[in-house]
Amino acid sequence: MYTIREVNGGRGRSINSDTGWCIPDDPANRHYQEVLDAIIAEGAACFDGDIPEDLQAAADEKQFNQQLAAYTTATARLAQYVLADGRAEVTEMQPTGEQVFNEETMEMEDVMHEVITVTSIEPVEATVTRMVYSEDDPMAEPVEETIENPLITKDSEERAAAQAIIDATPQAVIDAV
């Protein structure tokens, strides 16, 4: 909880936290940035009284920039290949730098060759097998267990998290990309 206190006989203000910190009006101060973070996360609940307009505007701007950065990162994460599917090779025709004369068109033409622009990557194994030992009976034979490859599990979780960020991004932020 933050409180605005007048200082210097009413000629200035101090942003005070309930832990006793007195925070200057300086965006370069990390405590000031924490005030903005609290406004973003909690809104009016983090202030005893109204949030000063300048602080609210600074918090709005910071939130916009954070959402923009998160959206950019999330889209980049989704653009990575899916581990379970692997990645297909991508080729394209590019000029070699040489030219030949085309007698039909009577023009010089680039000599083209096929270049691999994206190398292929095999999908990872869908499942892995592990030995499970009994916690109750150390002498018991271990049991073989097949589970989804943890790399795929983690990849799916991260992709889902990235998709959730994209879904939650306001349109105004997406439009700014």
Give the interface with another protein as residue ranges (CB under 8 A).
5-9, 11-14, 16-17, 19-24, 26, 28-32, 69, 72-73, 75-77, 80, 150-151, 154, 157-158, 161
CB of 135: closest distance to another protein in angstroms?
15
- The least distance separating another protein from the CB of residue 67, rounded to whole angstroms, comes to 13
- CA-to-CA distance for 54 and 44, rounded, in angstroms? 14
> How near is the Cβ of 34 to another protein at its closest, in Å?
8
Q: For another protein, give the closer residue by CB, 61 or 157.
A: 157
Six token digits for residue 58? 């600074």
Q: 44: which residues sit within 8 A by CB, 6+ positions away?
A: 50, 51
Cβ closer to another protein: 19 or 129? Answer: 19
Which residue, 65 or 96, is less far from another protein as judged by CB?
A: 65
- Residue closer to another protein, measured from CB, 8 or 105: 8
**Nearest distance in Å: CB 43, another protein:** 20
Closest separation between CB of residue 20 and another protein, Å?
A: 4
Min separation Cβ 77 and another protein, Å: 6
Question: Is the Cβ of residue 8 or residue 146 nearer to another protein in the bound state?
Answer: 8
Provide DSSP, the chain.
-EEEEEETTTTEEEEEETTS-EE-S-TTSHHHHHHHHHHHHHGGGGBSSPPPHHHHHHHHHHHHHHHHHHHHHHHHHHHSPPTTT-B--EEEEEEEEEEEEETTTTEEEEEEEEEEEE--BPPPPSEEEEEE--SS-TTSPPEEEEEE-HHHHHHHHHHHHHHHHHHHS-HHHHHT-
Q: Which is closer to another protein, CB of 113 or CB of 154?
A: 154
